Amino acid sequence: MSQNERDSLELERKNTPPNGPRLPERRPRFSVWIYLAIFLALLVHFFLFWTGTDTSTIEYSQFLEYVEKGYVERVEIVNDTKVQGRFTEAAVREGLVSVPVRQTDLLRGAQTPELIRRFTTTKPADHDLTSFLLAYNEQARAEGRPTVQFTARIEENWFGGLLTWIFPLILIVALWVFLLRRMNPSSQVLNIGKNRAILYDAMGDHRVTFKDVAGLDEAKEEVAEIVEFLKNPKKFTRLGGKLPKGVLLVGPPGTGKTLLAKAVAGEAGVPFFSISGSDFVEMFVGVGAARVRDLFRQAKEKAPCIIFIDEIDAIGRSRGRGIMMGANDERENTLNQLLVEMDGFNTDKGVIIMAATNRPDVLDPALLRPGRFDRQILIDKPDRRERLEIFKVHTRDLILGDDVDLEVLAGQTPGFAGAEIANVCNEAALLAARKGKEAVEMEDFEQAIDRVIAGLEKKNKIISPEEREIVAYHEAGHAIVGWFLRYTDPVVKVSIVPRGLAALGYAQYLPEERYLYTKEALLDRMTMAIGGRVAEELVFGRISTGAQNDLERITRMAYAMVVDYGMSERVGYVSFNLSGQYGEQAFFDKPYSEETARLIDEEVRRIINEVRERARQILEEKRDKLEALARRLLEKEVLGPRDLVEILGPRPYGDYPSPNGKDAEELKDLQKGEPAASSAVEASAPPTERPESSSAP
C-alpha cells in the first residue's frame, strides 16, 4: 500500500462517525452528459420563449383609436384573443404613436424599423373586432383613405399544454417517492430483498481487539486461529488444511459473544458484516432467502471478511416445529437458503461465518454439522479471576477512590456476566456523581451491586409495623437456618429495606463457585429457603404471602431432584428431562405414565415436608438467636457480617469470609477466614441465582 493510500485511509478514519466505524455510503455520480443535456434544454427553452423588446404593448382602447385615425397598417387576430399589428410608416416617422427605443441586443443585434413598427394588444371577449374593422374599411374606401388589412388564425400551443399536464404529474410522483422514503427508507419495493447488514471497517479508530475483551481466555485461543488464517492463509493451505466455515459462539446473555466477534474482525483487519437473525424475517414470502443471497454476494466481493449473525436461533430453529399442516413457513425457507450458502461456499475465499446464540438446543442439526458450523465455542459466565479483569477494563475511564479494591468487587459478584459488571461500574459512577463526589468510592460500588441484584431501594415505601415485624422474622429465619447448615452459602447481609418491585426484604449470600451439587447440598439449600416461612409460622402462628418466591424455588428444586437428577429412590435412577432430544414435543407429550406422574408428585411433597420439619427443628433449637436477630434487624434494618457473627457466633461449617475487606481483622478474632468478598447472589440450584426476597402480593 502506497503512502498516499495510507493517508487517504487515515483521513477516512478521522471522518468516521463515533457511533460505529462504518464504511462511507456510496453517493450517486452524475455524468457530464447529464449536465450538458440540462444546459441544452434550458437554451432551447430560452430561444422558444424569449420575447425581446421588438414589439410594444398598447391598450385595446388605444388600439381602436389608432385604427380610427389611420395609424394602423395591418392587424392579425390570434385565437380571437391576441391582436398583433403594425403601424404605418408615416405614423412612426412623425411620432404619432409610441414605439420602443431603438437598441442593440447581443443575440439578435440591432432592431430594424420593421420590428419597431410592431405592436400587440389583448382583445376583450365581448367586442366584435371583425365587424369594427369591416365598418372602418368601408368608410375609408368611401373617403379615399388607406384601409386596414386584417387576418385571423388559430394557434395551437401544444408545448404549453404538454407542460401543463407533465409538470403536475412529475411533481406528484416526486412528492410520493419522497414521502415513501421518509416514512421507511428500508421498505422500498425495489430494495426489499437487500440485506440489512451493517458493514464495519475494522481499520477505524474504534477498532476492537482482544485487549478489550477481558477474560474468555479459552475462547480467545479458539478464535485466534481464525485470525491467524485470515492474516496468513498460506500457513494452513500449504499443509492441506482448510479453514472452518463457521464458528458458533454459545453462552448466556451478556457474556461477550458479540464483543468477541468484533475483536476477531479487529485483530484480522478485515471487513465485518454484522446482522441480527430477525433481520432476515419478513412478512413477504421469499424476502428472507433473498436477503441471505444478497449478504453472501456482498461477502464474496469483500473477501476476506467475517459475517456475524447475532441471535441466529431466530432463523435457525429446528425445522418442522410448531408448523400447521399445509402452512408455508418463511423462516424455514430462509434457513434452507442459509444452509445452501454455507455448504456451497468455497473454503479458500477467506469468508468466515460467525454466529451467536444462547439457545443452542433449539438449533437445527443440519446447521451444526461439520461443513457449516464446525466449531462451537462455549462462552460461560466468568470466574473470579476473569471478573477481576473485566472490572479493570470497565474502570479504566473512571476516577476511582483510594479505598476501591477490584479484587473485593470481583468476589462480591459471583455469577455476574460481563454486561452486568459493566452495569455495576456505570451505576457506581452515577451514584458518585449524584452525591457530588470527586471519585467513585467502594461504598458506591457496593450500593450499585445491591441495586443491580435486588433492585432500587424504596425509601418512601410505607410499611405497617406488623408487616415490618413479619419481614424481620422471615429474613432472620433464612439467616439462622442457613448459618447452621453444612452445605449452604454463608450469609453476609440481611436487610428489611424494601427494594425492587415486590421485595420487602432480602438476605445476601456468598455462593461458592461450584459445578456439581450433591443431594445433601440441594436439601440444605431447600431447608434454608423454607426457613422464612417456618419462622413466620413458629413465631406468629400464621403464614403470609411473603414466601411465594421461596415456595417457587423449593418446588422447582424438588421436581428437578426427582425428574431430572434421579435423586428419588421410589422413582428410580431415571431422567425425564428429554427436551434436548424431543424438542418442544416433550412439553405436550410427557414421556411417562399417569402412575409415574402421581408418584413424582408424592415424592416432591415428601421432600418438601422433610425440609420443612428440618427447618422447624433448627429454629426451635435456636429460638433465642432468632429473637435476638429479629430485634436487631428491626432496630438497624440492615445487618452486616459483624452483627451476624456477634449474634449467631462462629459459623460451624467452613470459614466465614469478610464481605468488603474492612472487617477482616476483627472477624479473624471470632473465626479465622480468608478475606473475601460478599455477594447478594443466593445459589438455590445450579447455576447460581439472584438473592431470595420476601415478596408482597
Which residue in the list 475, 537, 603, 692 is annotated as catalytic? 475
Catalytic site residue 475? yes
Secondary structure (3-state) at 51: coil
- The one-letter code for the residue type at 540 is F
DSSP assignment of 300-327 equals HHH-SEEEEEESGGGT-BPTTTT--TT-
Distances 594 to 533, 568, 570, 575 between C-alpha atoms, Å: 31, 17, 15, 16
Q: Give 3-state DSSP helix, strand, coil % of the chain, rounded to 5.
A: 50, 10, 40
Contact 425, 395 (CB under 8 A): yes
Q: Which of 429, 422, 428 is nearest to 447 (CA)?
A: 428
Contact 535, 474 (CB under 8 A): yes
Q: Give the strand order in the sheet containing 118-122.
A: 56-57, 118-122, 82-87, 72-78, 149-153
| Chain centre to alpha carbon of residue 579 | 30
Angle (deg, nearest 10), helices 287-302 and 330-343: 20
Positive or negative torsion for Cα 470, 471, 472, 477 = positive
The DSSP 8-state label assigned to residue 440 in this structure reads: B
Phi, psi angle pair for 503, to nearest 5°:
-80, 115
Contact 611, 527 (CB under 8 A): yes
CA-CA distance, 697 to 694, in Å (whole number)?
A: 10
For residue 476, what is its C-alpha cell?
432472620
The DSSP 8-state label assigned to residue 31 in this structure reads: P
Enumerate the active-site residues. Answer: 475
